Amino acid sequence: MPLFEAVRMALRTIVTQKLKSFFSLIGVLIGVTFLIAVVSIVQGMNVYMEDQFANQLIGLNTFTLRRAPGINTGNVTDDEWREWMRRPRISYDDADYVAERLKTPATFARFCSDRMTITYGTKQAKDIELMGTEPTYFDIKNIGLASGRIFTPQEVRVGSPVLVIGDLLAEKLFEGLDPLGKQVRIAGLPYRVIGVAAKRGTLFGLSLDKFAVMPFRAPARRYICPMNVLDELQIKTSNSTTMLVAMGETESLMRNKRHLRPGQQNNFDLQSAEGALKGWRSISKVLITALPLLVAISLVVGGIVIMNIMLMAVAERTREIGIRKALGAKRRDILAQFVVESATLATVGAAFGVGTGIGLAFLVRGLTPLPAAVAPWSIAVGVILGMTVGILAGVYPASRASRLDPIVALRAE
């Protein structure tokens, strides 16, 4: 009997017994749903973490020289924390030393930040990230301007009280008025707005547009980077290879500068997007390793359910098997009929699973800031797995059916 004939026969059986078929394929359905949903979310997170998170927070091909790690995805013990706090901070001297001696071509941005309140007349914007840095910062973080200009190296050198503000802050303080040239105050100190940054959107549901950037030597530095120290020195190179070279150079320069003996630990930290992603990578690895186990369990359960349903079907349709045999069905015709029926059942289940899995992934994307990207390979894997489970689960019942004695089978009720 040709295969498509058998598949058509199987589909007809499934359609005539909708409810029973649904219950029998629910195990496979759940397994494949899991597979698709988890892979989609992990995949989406990967893209998100790499494109958005790491590059927004740290910058492409950029690393930072800091006192201690800034972005932690792992657990930090108290001892570690205390050791970090004992380290000397990154001074203007440290930054100059590295910037002057680094051989790899790179762009530098001295940087410090804190949360401050900014006022315009009677309006107040609290909890605004105020950053003191250099013009190069806008390039490193890829921040564009919607209007106005960024400050110049001159203004940095003399510490002019000028400010580039984020889109959301502009909206909040000026409510549609042109912010350019307006005077705002930070801790009582007057600043002039010279630029508004282009909108950057959100990250994990948090706005990236609630910020203000000033020259790092500007008057408010006493609040955000007091006593000639910096939070970090940001260093951007042309590509990921030169970045690694520059990181190595920076490490030895800093060890020299701080007179560390061989064997002594670094009392500073170099952080790249790659480093920040390490934590996420380990989480996604756990998810991806645990996934086959979850999927395997539901597929085994699904397979057993299908096997049972098929055994019942063979028992119920003993008479039919007898008739078919009397009319000339060979063993392998009967075997094929039931294996195909079982495989079709499981494949239909897997197909529904793909649907619900994609649905679930999009639901997660809709309801949470987590992204989801459906991986085409996971659909193929899901359907093939379902089909395989169906074939395996069908073999035993089908072989029982094929070995029935036609005389006995014809006498069955």
Of residues 278 and 403, the one with the C-beta less far from other proteins? 403
Using CB under 8 A as the binding rule, whether residue 176 contacts other proteins is answered as no
Task: Give the span between the Cα atoms of 309 and 344, in whole angstroms.
Answer: 13
CB of 1 vs other proteins, minimal distance in Å? 6
CB of 326 vs other proteins, minimal distance in Å? 5
Task: Give the span between the Cα atoms of 249 and 353, in whole angstroms.
Answer: 52
CB of 374 vs other proteins, minimal distance in Å? 37
CB of 328 vs other proteins, minimal distance in Å? 2
Q: Which of 221, 177, 213, 186 is nearest to 197 (CA)?
A: 213
Using the contact rule CB under 8 A, the part of the chain among 11-19, 46-54, 299-307, 376-384 near other proteins is 11-19
**What is the distance between the terminal CA atoms of the chain, rounded to a whole angstrom?**
26
CB of 308 vs other proteins, minimal distance in Å? 21
Sole binder of other proteins in the list 158, 312, 384, 407 (CB under 8 A): 407
Measured CA distances, 371 to 38, 52, 167, 189 (Å): 12, 11, 24, 41
Window 53 to 72, contacts with other proteins (CB under 8 A): none
Using CB under 8 A as the binding rule, whether residue 12 contacts other proteins is answered as yes
Window 324 to 363, contacts with other proteins (CB under 8 A): 324-333
Using CB under 8 A as the binding rule, whether residue 279 contacts other proteins is answered as no
Of residues 115 and 330, the one with the C-beta less far from other proteins? 330
Over its C-alpha atoms, the chain yields an Rg (Å, rounded) of 33
Residues 357 and 36: beta-carbon distance below 8 Å: yes
Task: Give the span between the Cα atoms of 143 and 393, in whole angstroms.
Answer: 58
CB of 351 vs other proteins, minimal distance in Å? 23
DSSP SS3 for 63: strand
Match 């009319």 to its residue by tokens: 327
Number of residues that bind other proteins (CB under 8 A): 22
Residues 394 and 342: beta-carbon distance below 8 Å: yes
Window 300 to 329, contacts with other proteins (CB under 8 A): 319-320, 322-329
Residues 346 and 25: beta-carbon distance below 8 Å: yes
CB of 336 vs other proteins, minimal distance in Å? 11
Of residues 68 and 345, the one with the C-beta less far from other proteins? 345
Q: What sign does the CA torsion over 40, 45, 51, 56 have?
A: positive
Using CB under 8 A as the binding rule, whether residue 85 contacts other proteins is answered as no
Of residues 110 and 317, the one with the C-beta less far from other proteins? 317
Quote the tokens at residue 392: 């395996």
- Backbone φ/ψ region at 121: left (φ over 0), alpha (ψ -120 to 50), beta: left
Q: Which of 371, 345, 276 is nearest to 6 (CA)?
A: 345
Using CB under 8 A as the binding rule, whether residue 1 contacts other proteins is answered as yes
CB of 413 vs other proteins, minimal distance in Å? 10
Of residues 381 and 410, the one with the C-beta less far from other proteins? 410
Helix and strand totals (H; E) in the chain: 15, 14
AA letter at 72: N
Using the contact rule CB under 8 A, the part of the chain among 5-13, 53-61, 75-83, 302-310 near other proteins is 5-13
Task: Give the span between the Cα atoms of 374 and 378, in whole angstroms.
Answer: 8
Using CB under 8 A as the binding rule, whether residue 5 contacts other proteins is answered as yes
AA letter at 256: N
Of residues 17 and 104, the one with the C-beta less far from other proteins? 17
Measured CA distances, 208 to 14, 20, 214 (Å): 53, 52, 17
Of residues 70 and 406, the one with the C-beta less far from other proteins? 406
CB of 313 vs other proteins, minimal distance in Å? 12
Using CB under 8 A as the binding rule, whether residue 188 contacts other proteins is answered as no
Of residues 271 and 342, the one with the C-beta less far from other proteins? 342
Match 């057993």 to its residue by tokens: 304
CB of 285 vs other proteins, minimal distance in Å? 50
Residues 234 and 137: beta-carbon distance below 8 Å: yes
CB of 22 vs other proteins, minimal distance in Å? 18
Of residues 78 and 413, the one with the C-beta less far from other proteins? 413
Question: 16, exposed or middle or buried, with CB in 10 Å at 0-12, 13-18, 19+?
Answer: exposed
Of residues 18 and 261, the one with the C-beta less far from other proteins? 18
| Neighbour tally for 362: CB within 10 Å | 14
Kindly list the residues in this chain that would bind other proteins in the complex (CB under 8 A).
Answer: 1, 5, 12-13, 16, 319-320, 322-333, 406-407, 410
